[in-house]
Structure 1
Amino acid sequence: MKLNYIKTYLAVVILSFGMTSCLDDLDQTPLDPDSSTELDVFANEQEAKGALAKLYAALALTGQEGPAGNPDIGGIDEGTSQFTRMHYTHQVLTTDEAVVGWGDPGLPDFHAMSWGAGNDFVTGLWFRLAQEVSFTNSFIDKAGQLDSQEVTHFIAEARFLRAYAYSVLLDVYGDVPIVTQVSAELPTQSSRVEVFNFVESELLDLVAGLKEPGANEYGRVDKAAAWALLSRMYLNAEVYTGTPRYNDAVTYSEMVINSSYQINMNDANGNGTAYDELFLADNDTNGAQNEFIFPVRFDGINSRTYGGTTFLIHGATGGDMDPSALGINGGWDGMRTTKALVEKFQASQYDADGYPIAWSDKRAMFYTTDHSYEIGVIPNAFQDGYAVVKFSNLKSDGTRGSDDTFTDTDLALIRLSEVYLNYAEAVLRGGGGDTGTAVNLINELRTRAYGDASGNINTSSLTLDFILDERARELYWEGFRRTDLIRYDLFTTGNYLWPFKGGVPTGTSVPSYRKLFPIPTDAMVANPNYVQNPGY
């Protein structure tokens, strides 16, 4: 893969996003005499495929050398800056799904909902997403000069990755600049509505260039990915634009549901559920891959990072837990969950103090030994709050991944289960569709979760509140919770409190402007055209 040209070309594009201060080592010459030039990178179809790989890799990796040493982005710890790790910080740590005991400057502010525009993590996610936009713009421009049907597919994939990056930018920051070509001019922000319209139009247009569902290599997107992202966008359209689009959410959910993707029911390790296969080190081959519409791929030998599932597994391990039980060599004593998430699952066994320690719903993957149900303070000891053992570096046969530090476990950014839940919620919100179908889809997920039909529901149980809780049960720690709570008007209000929401042990409401993160100070300084989000 020819990375050096792309890194050099990024310097010009990133300027237009207003972020030069956080780019590291971006000179205008190759890094060594043997480095490839722009002409080499796009000389033919095979070379262009190597450049396409960098667009996908930019969501998984952090630099040019592996886990650390030559970062794409400077000004922030390289491992911390990895995309899915930054996304988790914004989408999960701000909610009832997780707390973290680390006291890194700015990190406790997320669960306390007290971040500011100078927060390193707020800044880091902005930069990481802008980098992806920059990479994709560069690729689209240069690959378009090749006359090849396969390269046409490559370009459609690059446009999807750009649209995905913008879907996160509009969700997290609101008004952001739309940059689609290389330019040194400083752009102005587009409104959140304009960004939504851009992402929608891109997805509707690019889908024709994508391969049919299931026809692409595992890890690369196809038509179903575009339909699924549209389903997600339309479900949240009322938040983003003020106009509900639940009928469109139903339509595009149906297109994905009727495609070749399937809910994984392959209980490869024989423990009574196929749910945990989704989060094991062989989830690219154990059946989970049939459910993964858009995964980020990780490999303990060839794609090392301190983010991704390495972060999710090591960071969630500590205290007296046995790291080898999760296929790793040690824990980082980091993230745990709050009782508010645990309470979403119906308990089947309690300890002597009346706290739940076992559940019929096998999605409740918590480590409770010597852990308190209640959380005392934050930052805190690792044993405060139940640990989460959802992600593992073990394979279905019980052997560990290729390395016990850097994990092999892939992470789905879009999987079919989400689309099932999108459909059910959109139906309940008046988007058409069929209630009976929605119940059947939910029961398919719950049959997998319970190992039988004992957890199935009927039509009368299918309510919006139930769907919100079911999304938590099915998708926790996968990066959805903040967006879901905002859609239900529960993120900032006092209508739903969880431990230490707003920095208060029992939880409290926070100002509504916290539904968006601020434009980072560094970006505001670099681009005087930007207008800060209200409240910051």
Structure 2
Amino acid sequence: MKIKNKLKLMIGFIGFLLVASCTDLEFENLGGIEPEGVGESSDLLASAYGQLREFANERTIFGLSEHSSDVLMGPTRGGDWFDNGVFQQMHLHSWAPDHLFIRTVWSDLHEGVFRATQAIEGNGATSQIIAEAKVVRAYYMFHILDFWGITTFRGATEGLEVDPLVRDGAESVQFLIDDLESALSDLPDTSNPNLANKNTARALLCKLYLNKAVYEADDRSSGTFTFGSEDMNQVVTYANDIINSGVYSLSPGVEGYFNTFAELNDVQSTELIFSVPGSQIPQFKAKWNCSLHWNQKPNGWSGYATLSDFYDTFEEGDSRLGGPYNSATNPYTNSSGVSAGFLIGQQFDDEGNMVFARDGVTPVNFTREVTLKVNGEVEGIRVLKYIPDFTGGIDNADNPNNSMVLLRYGDVLMNKAEALFRGGTDPMGQTALTIINDVRSVRFETPSPFTAVTADNLLQERGRELYWEGWRRNDLIRFGKFLDAWQEKPATTSERVLYPIPPTALLANPSLNQNPGY
């Protein structure tokens, strides 16, 4: 077929010029090569769900969301963890448009968007398949909008001669809101959290309305946004729908909090709204290997640390700080000697013996002190948010049954509290203060209520509740703090509030313009 041959030649020529962009071009071209249809919608929806596994990658999307923030650092340790400076650049906000994480995330998210669009336009698409695909697509597009300030869109059957549509921030957020609200009636009321349902859409709508003023702003770097009361009321409405569904609750204590991140969390957690099953994530173990020391159980890669300034925002008695984790099914601490949450000070094995570094002499005594560029094996407070699977006391950490959390109930409550703080009204009579204190009453064994809610303590509380879950950059921008100086990072310039569009994407789509300052 002549059209196919021309497309193949064109793809080959562009691929020759733009080797690094081959992934983008391959999935974008699929629609043009198959003009008679894009495949079975049910299969394509499964593929769109499957692409969500990229949110579990400890580098790419997580890198853009958390490494660029004040809660995480990827310090260089001797000859380890330099990786051509990718972690240092994220922390210092000194990335260039061709940064590996930025290029990879652009490709991964757009691939997810396209797979979901194929499911919507594919053969045999039922109203529920279309609705689920819209939710999955919106999750990808939300992050594209958040990272780059725009979204792009190509229909599943559009060919190379059609440049993907580019929407600005205001157009993008309204498109996503309209698309999700149109899907609500066709979604199931409840489902396994690995599949989209009404509450998945509502939780994402909470995020969109809460950030709407940011996405509509001409300049996000100002840190000053006009949060409309109507938008904040929509956050409250959708949060109340989730609350009143009666499906979710918070659980007390260290075990209650960390069950949300432990094995079989899609079954045992009372919080999960949307998640990716571990069976879809070949390297789930990276969620704990990235921070644990080489000689701990399971043996880690001795990489990431948190910042002591962030650690110091926690109060004594806060279960989110962590501690021994031994659930009815997973006696992890008894089997490994390792606690959940923040790891600081001397580490021990499951028999109570001191753990030593690889030289056999230096104690693994995690320190508060850590720098970005020069460290040994033990510098920096480590974080174990996801609990390794030691079901029945047997090490299953290389093949765990944990699911990756994408949306959860604690986040919904924090979003509702913030919306009320920013001018929303709750027909249920709650205030930002009562919600925050309700959450804290569960997270603390001895109540430690706030007397008032301020922008500063609300941002801190969001950090304590949601650390290392992929929302910190988003929060810092909305609170006008993302460009500030923090530990091992000077204040950064205004363009860093958005990421640069990869050069290969600019060459592939003439409708795109580089973000200002790059």
Q: TM-score, normalised by structure 1?
A: 0.76
1:202 aligns with 2:185: no
Deviation for aligned residue 1:135: 0.6
1:109 aligns with 2:89: yes
2:419 aligns with 426
Query: Distance between the aligned counterparts of 1:41 and 1:339, measured in 2?
Result: 51
Structure 2: which 5+ residue stretches go unaligned?
1-7, 31-35, 76-80, 218-225, 325-338, 347-364
Query: Distance between the aligned counterparts of 1:93 and 1:279, measured in 2?
Result: 20
Deviation for aligned residue 1:317: 1.1
Q: CA RMSD in A?
A: 3.4
**Could you tell me whether the CA contact under 8 Å between 1:282 and 1:396 is conserved in 2?**
no
1:470 aligns with 2:461: yes
1:274-289 correspondence runs (5 A):
274-286=256-268, 288=269
Query: Distance between the aligned counterparts of 2:476 and 2:254, measured in 1?
Result: 31
Structure-2 change in CA distance of 1:24 and 1:420 (3 Å) = closer
1:455 aligns with 447
Deviation for aligned residue 1:124: 0.4
Structure-2 change in CA distance of 1:97 and 1:466 (3 Å) = same
**Could you tell me whether the CA contact under 8 Å between 2:194 and 2:276 is conserved in 1?**
yes
**CA offsets 1:335-378 (integer angstroms, 9 cap, x no match):** 110112201111479xxxxxxx9889x98533432111021342
Query: Distance between the aligned counterparts of 1:260 and 1:435, measured in 2?
Result: 18
Q: Pick one of 281, 294, 297 that aligns with 2:277.
A: 297
2:246 aligns with 260
Deviation for aligned residue 1:100: 1.0
Deviation for aligned residue 1:471: 0.8
SS of the counterpart of 1:412? strand
2:287 aligns with 312
1:223-234 correspondence runs (5 A):
223-234=198-209
Query: Distance between the aligned counterparts of 2:24 and 2:156, measured in 1?
Result: 21
Question: Counterpart of 2:259 in structure 1: which amino acid?
Answer: E
Structure-2 change in CA distance of 1:168 and 1:25 (3 Å) = closer
1:135 aligns with 115
Query: Distance between the aligned counterparts of 1:316 and 1:210, measured in 2?
Result: 38
Query: Distance between the aligned counterparts of 2:301 and 2:340, measured in 1?
Result: 23
Query: Distance between the aligned counterparts of 1:19 and 1:252, measured in 2?
Result: 44
SS of the counterpart of 1:177? strand
Please list every run of at least 4 consecutive aligned residues from structure 1 whose deviation after the TM superposition is greater than 6 angstroms: 357-360
**Could you tell me whether the CA contact under 8 Å between 1:137 and 1:182 is conserved in 2?**
no
Question: Counterpart of 1:525 in structure 2: which amino acid?
Answer: L
Q: Pick one of 503, 514, 523 that aligns with 2:496.
A: 514
Structure-2 change in CA distance of 1:260 and 1:382 (3 Å) = farther
Q: Pick one of 127, 134, 151 that aligns with 1:176.
A: 151
Deviation for aligned residue 1:382: 3.8
**Could you tell me whether the CA contact under 8 Å between 1:264 and 1:291 is conserved in 2?**
yes
Deviation for aligned residue 1:121: 0.6
Structure-2 change in CA distance of 1:210 and 1:84 (3 Å) = farther
1:164 aligns with 139
Q: Pick one of 232, 235, 243 that aligns with 1:246.
A: 232
Structure 1: which 5+ residue stretches go unaligned?
1-7, 31-37, 43-47, 62-80, 350-356, 502-507
1:60-459 correspondence runs (5 A):
60=53, 85-101=59-75, 102-105=81-84, 106-143=86-123, 145-146=124-125, 151-184=126-159, 185-212=162-189, 214=190, 216-242=191-217, 243-244=226-227, 245-265=231-251, 273-286=255-268, 288=269, 290-299=270-279, 303-306=280-283, 309-320=284-295, 322-323=296-297, 328=298, 330-347=299-316, 365-369=342-346, 370-378=365-373, 380-394=375-389, 398-401=393-396, 404-433=397-426, 436-450=430-444, 452=445, 454-458=446-450
1:483 aligns with 2:463: no
Query: Distance between the aligned counterparts of 2:400 and 2:59, measured in 1?
Result: 14
SS of the counterpart of 1:274? helix
**CA offsets 1:131-152 (integer angstroms, 9 cap, x no match):** 0011111111114x45xxxx32
Structure-2 change in CA distance of 1:445 and 1:411 (3 Å) = farther
Query: Distance between the aligned counterparts of 1:257 and 1:486, measured in 2?
Result: 27
Structure-2 change in CA distance of 1:40 and 1:25 (3 Å) = closer
Question: Counterpart of 1:469 in structure 2: which amino acid?
Answer: Q
Structure-2 change in CA distance of 1:280 and 1:364 (3 Å) = closer
**Could you tell me whether the CA contact under 8 Å between 1:153 and 1:210 is conserved in 2?**
yes
SS of the counterpart of 1:156? helix
Structure-2 change in CA distance of 1:85 and 1:298 (3 Å) = farther
More helix by share: 2
Structure-2 change in CA distance of 1:358 and 1:524 (3 Å) = closer
Structure-2 change in CA distance of 1:393 and 1:272 (3 Å) = closer
SS of the counterpart of 2:274? strand
Question: Counterpart of 1:447 in structure 2: which amino acid?
Answer: S
**Could you tell me whether the CA contact under 8 Å between 1:366 and 1:387 is conserved in 2?**
yes
Query: Distance between the aligned counterparts of 1:116 and 1:291, measured in 2?
Result: 38
Question: Counterpart of 2:286 in structure 1: which amino acid?
Answer: F
SS of the counterpart of 1:531? coil
2:21 aligns with 21
Query: Distance between the aligned counterparts of 1:254 and 1:191, measured in 2?
Result: 30
1:3 aligns with none
Deviation for aligned residue 1:521: 1.1
Deviation for aligned residue 1:40: 11
Query: Distance between the aligned counterparts of 2:388 and 2:214, measured in 1?
Result: 37
2:486 aligns with 498
Query: Distance between the aligned counterparts of 1:294 and 1:27, measured in 2?
Result: 25
Structure-2 change in CA distance of 1:237 and 1:509 (3 Å) = same
Query: Distance between the aligned counterparts of 2:58 and 2:300, measured in 1?
Result: 19
**CA offsets 1:473-527 (integer angstroms, 9 cap, x no match):** 111000010110111111103xxx32112xxxxxx21001111001011111222
Question: Counterpart of 2:423 in structure 1: which amino acid?
Answer: G
Question: Counterpart of 1:129 in structure 2: which amino acid?
Answer: L
Question: Counterpart of 1:183 in structure 2: which amino acid?
Answer: E
1:535 aligns with 2:510: no
Structure-2 change in CA distance of 1:382 and 1:174 (3 Å) = farther
2:353 aligns with none
**CA offsets 1:49-93 (integer angstroms, 9 cap, x no match):** 3432221111116xxxxxxxxxxxxxxxxxxx9667422101111
**Could you tell me whether the CA contact under 8 Å between 1:304 and 1:406 is conserved in 2?**
no
**Could you tell me whether the CA contact under 8 Å between 2:39 and 2:122 is conserved in 1?**
no
Deviation for aligned residue 1:430: 0.8
Higher mean alpha-carbon deviation, 232-241 vs 249-258, is at 249-258
Query: Distance between the aligned counterparts of 2:258 and 2:27, measured in 1?
Result: 45
